[in-house]
């Protein structure tokens, strides 16, 4: 028996070393943690229970039978983050460059199946050179098995992907189907085809970092939601992000104990400028409303004319969607619509109430927007907010013009509570543009067209550039003082806590993708 115990101890010791100390040292030399170190820092101390530590590949071609590593390049198991159960897999670059084999994929599928079965988040730490080419179609089949499980888990349990090294070819589609993707700057990249193929096909010369690095995907494509400067920061961001989420779609986010005190916020009175054309930072409004230091922004560097992220209000998790007047005056365009729609659908999947802050002059005009599908992309946000059944509360801080008023969680598409600040303007368009259309003949025939335009603009503004016309029709539930916003929202979300919506029976809707 003693000998048998020693055999087990030896095998487990080998599995702990992955591809060996020399390759571990190389990983450290690149400024990267090993897969085991990442799992260690991600999970609560002593909580990790590994599954499949002694799995090996089955390939006998190309001399592979002589290269056997326990675990086969991926660490899988379960543990806790801040006391909450999660399932995790971490690809080990020290074993065949983290390349995915049939058994490697089977391990990932097994832990994903477990996560779905017990209803807990699944976190993938990706660091892989791609498919293990020695296995041919078997490795491709392994990818497809993972993709299928990503789809089955979607909307059932939260799925988070951290790209902590290379992720190329078919490997990119699994993270793309998860809820949130994080990347580490200067040590991770994602692309379907690499720089060499790009050079051959399009004659473009580009580096891996330029083509698919963290900053490229954070600013240009929107593929990554959060970036980090190193592995530890990336792991800490995952731990922080998951605190805002429930375990699964049947659960509610965990609330932090909070004692209500004086919830008046005087600083909100002075954030929005008197001049309707002057920009201001909507993040100041967000931070004035929510619990201190609780905002966790998503997609911070992408489509910056809209701000989305998680926050807490009186200890409860909420999702925030807000126009950003600092960028493009807060207009809706193709990218901002997709960004907000995606975040809205996640919150709706996982019972996270939505707060929508509105200061929107309309949709961005131009051939570029029209030819890139502003119609269908704008409709994605309209669809997402219309479809969402979680508590939905809107505050119009300044402008709400045209179709963008409808799209930004108006009463007409199912918002539960709609508020406006006293200076809010709710109209088809701005007073100047409206006056130029309505009073075109009077202005053109006037002795002083500029004075006549100013007169008509002032008259139109007095009648429509305020929240009271909408309030008279019940489209706005109350006009509130900025300083009272937090207090009123806390009461509103508490009232909506047990909201129930009965939807028409259907398989699923057909969002304008």
100 DSSP assignment:
B
Instruction: Give yes or no: 31 in active site.
Output: no
Q: How far apart are CA 33 and CA 125, in angstroms?
A: 11
Q: How far apart are CA 203 and CA 188, in angstroms?
A: 24
Spot the catalytic one: 155, 403, 414, 433.
403
* Cα 465 from chain centroid (whole Å): 34
Q: How far is CA 162 from CA 37, 45, 68, 194, 230, in A?
A: 14, 20, 27, 20, 12
Spot the catalytic one: 228, 341, 404, 471.
404
Q: How far apart are CA 143 and CA 233, in angstroms?
A: 28
Q: How far apart are CA 413 and CA 81, in angstroms?
A: 37
Spot the catalytic one: 129, 142, 169, 212.
169
Beta-bridged to residue 79, according to DSSP, are: 86
166 conformational bin, left if phi > 0, alpha if psi -120 to 50, beta if neither:
beta
270 DSSP assignment:
G
Question: Nearest 5°: phi and psi at 43?
Answer: -95, 160
Instruction: Give yes or no: 155 in active site.
Output: no
Instruction: Give yes or no: 403 in active site.
Output: yes
Spot the catalytic one: 119, 155, 170, 315.
170
Instruction: Give yes or no: 341 in active site.
Output: no
Q: How far apart are CA 254 and CA 85, in angstroms?
A: 13
Beta-bridged to residue 307, according to DSSP, are: 322
Give the chain's end-to-end CA distance (angstroms, integer). Answer: 61
In angstroms and rounded to an integer, the radius of gyration of the C-alpha atoms of the chain is 26
Give the residue numbers marked as catalytic.
Answer: 169-170, 403-404
């Amino acid at each position: 028996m003693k000998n048998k115990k020693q055999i087990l101890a030896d095998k487990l010791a080998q599995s702990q070393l992955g591809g060996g100390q020399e390759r571990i040292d190389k990983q450290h030399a690149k400024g990267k943690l090993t897969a085991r170190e990442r799992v260690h820092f991600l999970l609560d101390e002593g909580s990790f229970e590994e599954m499949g530590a002694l799995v090996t590949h089955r390939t006998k071609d190309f001399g592979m039978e002589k290269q056997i590593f326990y675990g086969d390049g991926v660490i899988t198991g379960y543990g806790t983050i801040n006391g909450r159960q999660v399932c995790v897999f971490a690809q080990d670059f020290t074993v065949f460059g983290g390349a995915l084999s049939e058994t490697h994929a089977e391990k990932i599928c097994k832990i994903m199946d477990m996560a779905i079965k017990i209803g807990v988040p699944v976190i993938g730490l990706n660091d892989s050179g791609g498919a293990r080419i020695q296995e041919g179609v078997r490795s491709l089949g392994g990818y497809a098995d993972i993709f299928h499980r990503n789809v089955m888990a979607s909307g059932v349990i939260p799925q988070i992907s951290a790209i902590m090294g290379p992720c190329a070819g078919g490997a990119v589609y699994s993270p793309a189907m998860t809820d949130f993707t994080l990347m580490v700057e200067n040590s991770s990249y994602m692309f379907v085809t690499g720089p060499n193929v790009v050079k051959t096909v399009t004659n473009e010369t580009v580096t891996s970092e330029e083509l698919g690095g963290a900053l490229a995907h954070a600013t240009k494509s929107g593929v990554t939601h959060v970036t980090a400067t190193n592995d530890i920061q990336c792991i800490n961001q995952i731990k922080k992000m998951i605190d805002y989420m429930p375990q699964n779609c049947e659960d509610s986010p965990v609330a932090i104990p909070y004692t209500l005190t004086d919830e008046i916020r005087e600083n909100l009175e002075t954030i929005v400028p008197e001049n309707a054309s002057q920009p201001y930072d909507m993040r100041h409004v967000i931070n004035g409303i929510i619990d201190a230091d609780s905002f966790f922004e998503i997609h911070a560097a992408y489509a910056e004319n809209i701000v989305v992220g998680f926050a807490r209000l009186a200890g409860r998790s909420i999702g925030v969607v807000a126009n950003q007047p600092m960028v493009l005056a807060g207009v809706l365009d193709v990218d901002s619509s997709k960004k907000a729609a995606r975040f809205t659908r996640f919150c709706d999947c996982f019972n996270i109430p939505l707060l929508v802050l509105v200061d929107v002059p309309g949709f961005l005009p131009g051939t570029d927007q029209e030819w890139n599908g502003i119609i269908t992309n704008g409709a994605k946000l309209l669809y997402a907010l219309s479809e969402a059944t979680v508590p939905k509360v809107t505050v119009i801080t300044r402008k709400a013009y045209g179709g963008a008023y409808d799209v930004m969680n108006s009463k007409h598409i199912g918002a539960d509570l709609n508020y406006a600040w006293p200076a809010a303007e709710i109209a088809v368009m701005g007073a100047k543009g409206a006056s130029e259309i309505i009073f075109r003949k009077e202005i053109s025939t006037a002795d002083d067209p500029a004075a006549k335009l100013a007169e008509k603009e002032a008259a139109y503004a007095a009648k429509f550039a305020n929240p009271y016309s909408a309030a008279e029709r019940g489209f706005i539930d109350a006009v509130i003082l900025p300083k009272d916003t937090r207090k009123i929202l806390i009461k509103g979300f508490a009232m909506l806590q047990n909201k129930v919506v009965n939807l028409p029976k259907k398989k699923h809707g057909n969002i304008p993708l």
